[in-house]
């Protein structure tokens, strides 16, 4: 028989009587028959299931009988011989070498000749399982690569009678070179220090073999290298840059390389400098005290030891250690690299300091051990101008929206103000230092403005209008905690409420008809909104009333003279007097608590600043000499501070400044032409010397 299907069920042994061919080559239970044929005096005997046997015999009937007997004898002889010598399975031919990579498998089909036709079973073995394993599966052998090398796989085909045949083939597992994986980043090391790199993630071995690592430096005078296991260590020798080349090698000698730079820097040193000085510019009055924050930073790569600093005074806008020291030693604690510390220094000025004097102050810190750059050991200079104007300006709010209309509580502990920090304008309250901000109104449909605190501190009046365009404003009053808001008027456009000193009435401005030619006038009403009465009546606008502390006068703004000026009238509206009669815009009058002075806003110096004048309009002083807009002054109850609004930092914010108590002194000096001029100089003085 020819090639057989490996593993098919074989026929029975000789003599069995089941269907199918027997191992002897004849059907079971059937006597082999001979077919007679005469061909050129020769008889060919063809055996069912066997070959052909040829022999010569005589002719004729007798010959035919003899021939039949002879054929039967020969047939049984052949069959008997076949049963005694069965054939073993035999390979169909050689199998080519198989190439398989580590971790992969290949299925190799098998072919055997089974002349007996009784089926075979397969088994397989590898000469080196460390290189490759082999497993017979059905009519194929699965070869799995384990590690680089060569192994011989032997396959055995065995029939049911125990006869077997074999075939062998070679399996080659190729060795693949290592590969570079993650790039090794450059390293920076100080002289005398080391940097280590774990190489296990920087190379890959596709065949899973262990790698050995080797390294070299392009310049061992800059950095040397050593390897321990998978770690390469670079030791910094001197300043410069060296290239480290790392080689990963497998057991067969195949390699992969990577390189990285090692930059060696000088040993770490501290570097102290002044990173910030706040404020950088100060306006101070004689006798004033100011505070300056000096921030020191260690920009070096090593900690700085404790240091010593001093305050110096200069006249030229720069600070140098050679400038006169005006303080004792100031200790600076040790600083870690990149750490900072802030030194707060308070300065005061003599009452005899002349207005107009300009001085510069700053700090210098002594060089510390190891510090190489000492050119930056002095701070920037703080410019201080002695002036009679406001000083000690502090910002109370700090955000990107608009805050305005500050109003002090009667005890001086809080300030109410308006803000649109929650989209629309609302009334807020904060502590006098800017902390503890709390919202007092909360309406998504209205804007609330111009808060005014009642003298007893229990109520806050304010104006409010719908967010819809051209909506009128109304005067409302609420409890100081924001509860119980009550509308006090129903007609016209009302704004800028101001409480009377006794808290019984409210002054406000009102445009009653809200027509294009309607003008605002000053009105009064009771604290509950009743008893509304008009106090000004002309064809121009009168607005922004401010009640005098004595309760008998009202300051207000009027443009009846062609431009806005500050006026004062009696409570009945009689005797209006222009206090600021000039061609510029003056507005927002605010009485001092003692009634001696009025703060106001004017653009007479080119931009809007806060001014103060005596209640009769004389002795005008600019408190905020500033290129930006300052507005809405409000006196503290003790008369020492003024809260105001300024956009000097980009958007309207609430600020507060100290205001000295002034006394006027007559003096004379020569001007640039040599003429003698009589001046009034304002200096801080006792309460009894106020005018």
Task: Give mean pLDDT, residues 317-333.
Answer: 92
Mean pLDDT of the chain: 83
pLDDT, one tens digit per residue, over 633-678 is 999 999 999 999 999 888 999 999 988 655 444 444 333 334 444 4
Alpha carbon 619 to its chain centroid, in Å, reads: 55
pLDDT given at position 115: 83
- pLDDT of residue 525 exceeding 80: yes
Query: pLDDT of 239-295, one tens digit each?
Result: 999 999 999 999 999 999 999 999 998 888 899 999 999 988 887 776 667 889 999
Looking at the domain covering 90-173, what would its CATH class be?
mainly beta
pLDDT digits (tens, 9 = 90+) for 160-187: 989 999 999 999 999 999 999 999 999 9
Q: Residue 434: is its pLDDT beyond 60?
A: yes
Q: What is the pLDDT of residue 625?
A: 77
Closest to 154 (Cα-Cα) out of 125, 191, 112: 125
Q: What is the pLDDT of residues 552-563, one digit of tens each?
A: 999 999 999 899
Does the pLDDT of residue 38 top 60, yes or no? no
Residue span(s) of the chain under CATH 2.60.40.10 come to 179-265, 272-387
How many whole angstroms separate alpha carbon 472 and alpha carbon 389?
A: 39
Using the predicted structure, report yes or no on whether residue 495 has a pLDDT greater than 70: yes
What is the fold of 272-387? Immunoglobulin-like (2.60.40)
Q: Looking at residue 84, what is its pLDDT? A: 56
Q: Which CATH class is domain 179-265?
A: mainly beta
Asked if pLDDT for residue 372 goes beyond 90, the answer is no
List Cβ neighbours of 290 (8 Å cut-off, separation of 6 or more).
282, 284, 346, 347, 348, 384, 391, 392
Confidence of residue 391 (pLDDT cuts 50, 70, 90): low
pLDDT digits (tens, 9 = 90+) for 46-77: 333 333 333 333 444 444 454 454 545 444 44
Decide: 168 and 152 in contact? Cβ < 8 Å: yes
Reduce the DSSP state of residue 359 to 3 states and report it.
Answer: strand
Q: In the CATH hierarchy, which top-level class contains the domain 393-660? A: mainly beta
The reply to whether omega before 279 is within 30° of 0 (cis) is yes
Long-range contacts of 525-534 (CB under 8 A, 24+ apart): 525/475, 525/488, 525/489, 527/454, 527/459, 527/477, 527/499, 527/503, 528/488, 529/475, 529/486, 529/487, 529/488, 529/489, 531/505, 532/489, 534/510, 534/573
Specify the domain boundaries for CATH 2.60.40.1080 within the chain: 90-173
127 neighbors 153 (Cβ within 8 angstroms): yes
CATH 2.120.10.30 in the chain, residue ranges: 393-660
Given a cut of 90, whether residue 510 has pLDDT beyond it is: yes
Confidence of residue 490 (pLDDT cuts 50, 70, 90): confident
Note the pLDDT tens digit of each residue in 71-125: 454 444 444 444 556 889 999 999 999 999 999 999 999 999 988 888 899 999 9
679 pLDDT exceeds 80? no
pLDDT at 619: 87
pLDDT at residue 355 in the model: 59
| Sheet of 340-348, strand order | 272-278, 289-298, 340-348
pLDDT score at 311: 95
């Amino acid at each position: 028989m020819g090639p057989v299907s490996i593993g098919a069920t074989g026929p029975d042994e000789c003599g069995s009587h089941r269907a199918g061919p027997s191992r002897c080559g004849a059907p079971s239970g059937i006597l082999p028959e001979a077919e007679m044929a005469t061909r050129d005096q020769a008889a060919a005997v063809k055996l069912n299931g066997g070959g052909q046997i040829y022999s010569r015999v005589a002719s004729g009937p007798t010959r035919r009988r003899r021939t039949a007997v002879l054929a039967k004898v020969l047939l049984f002889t052949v069959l008997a011989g076949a049963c005694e010598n069965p054939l073993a399975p035999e390979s169909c031919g050689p199998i080519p070498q198989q190439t398989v990579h580590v971790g992969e498998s290949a299925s190799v089909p098998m072919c055997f000749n089974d002349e007996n036709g009784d089926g075979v079973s397969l088994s397989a073995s590898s000469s080196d399982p460390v290189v490759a394993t082999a497993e017979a599966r059905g009519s194929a052998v699965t070869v799995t690569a384990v590690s680089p090398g060569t192994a011989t796989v032997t396959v055995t085909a065995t029939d049911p009678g125990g006869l077997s045949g074999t075939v062998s083939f070679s399996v080659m597992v190729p060795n693949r070179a290592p590969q570079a994986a993650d790039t090794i980043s450059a390293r920076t090391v100080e002289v005398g220090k080391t940097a280590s790199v774990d190489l296990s993630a920087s190379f890959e071995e596709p065949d899973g073999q262990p790698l050995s690592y080797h390294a070299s430096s392009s310049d061992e005078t800059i950095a040397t290298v050593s390897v321990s296991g998978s770690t390469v260590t670079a030791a910094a020798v001197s300043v410069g840059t060296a290239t480290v080349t790392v080689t990963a090698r497998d057991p067969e000698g195949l390699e992969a390389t990577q390189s990285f730079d090692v930059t060696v820097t000088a040993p770490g040193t501290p570097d102290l400098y002044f990173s910030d000085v706040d404020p950088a510019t100060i306006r101070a009055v004689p006798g004033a005290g100011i505070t300056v924050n000096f921030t020191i930073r260690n920009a070096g790569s090593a900690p700085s030891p404790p240091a010593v600093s001093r305050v110096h005074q200069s006249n030229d806008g720069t600070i140098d250690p050679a400038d006169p020291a005006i303080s004792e030693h100031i200790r600076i604690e040790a600083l870690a690299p990149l750490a900072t510390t802030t030194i707060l220094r308070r300065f005061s000025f003599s009452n005899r300091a002349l207005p107009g004097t300009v001085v510069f102050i700053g700090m210098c810190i002594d060089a510390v051990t190891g510090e190489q750059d000492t050119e930056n050991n002095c701070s920037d200079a703080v410019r201080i101008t002695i002036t009679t104007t406001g000083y000690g300006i502090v910002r109370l709010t700090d955000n990107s929206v608009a805050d305005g209309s500050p109003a002090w509580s009667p005890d001086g502990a809080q300030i109410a103000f308006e803000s649109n920090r929650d989209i629309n304008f609302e009334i807020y309250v904060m502590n006098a230092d800017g902390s503890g901000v709390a919202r007092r109104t909360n309406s998504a449909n209205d804007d609330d403005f111009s808060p005014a605190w009642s003298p007893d501190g229990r109520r806050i009046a304010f104006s409010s209008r719908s967010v819809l365009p051209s909506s009128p404003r109304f005067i409302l009053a609420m409890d100081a905690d924001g509860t119980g808001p009550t509308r006090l008027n129903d007609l016209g456009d009302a704004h800028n409420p101001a409480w009377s000193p006794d808290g019984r009435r409210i002054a406000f401005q009102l445009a009653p008809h809200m027509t294009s030619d309607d003008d605002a006038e000053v009105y009064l009403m009771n604290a509950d909104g009743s008893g509304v009465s008009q106090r000004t009546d002309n064809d121009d606008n009168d607005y922004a009333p401010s009640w005098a502390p004595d309760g008998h006068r009202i300051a207000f703004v009027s443009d009846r003279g062609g431009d806005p000026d500050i006026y004062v009238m009696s409570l009945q509206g009689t005797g209006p007097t222009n206090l600021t009669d000039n061609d510029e815009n003056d507005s927002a009058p605010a009485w001092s608590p003692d009634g001696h002075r009025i703060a106001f806003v004017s653009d007479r110096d080119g931009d809007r600043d806060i001014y103060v004048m005596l209640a009769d309009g004389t002795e005008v002083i600019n408190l905020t000499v500033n290129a930006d807009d300052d507005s809405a002054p409000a006196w503290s109850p003790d008369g020492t501070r003024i809260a105001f609004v300024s956009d000097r930092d980009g958007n309207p914010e609430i600020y507060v400044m100290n205001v000295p108590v002034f006394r006027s002194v007559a003096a004379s000096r020569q001007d640039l032409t040599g003429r003698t001029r009589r001046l009034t100089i304002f200096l801080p003085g006792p309460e009894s010397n106020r005018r």
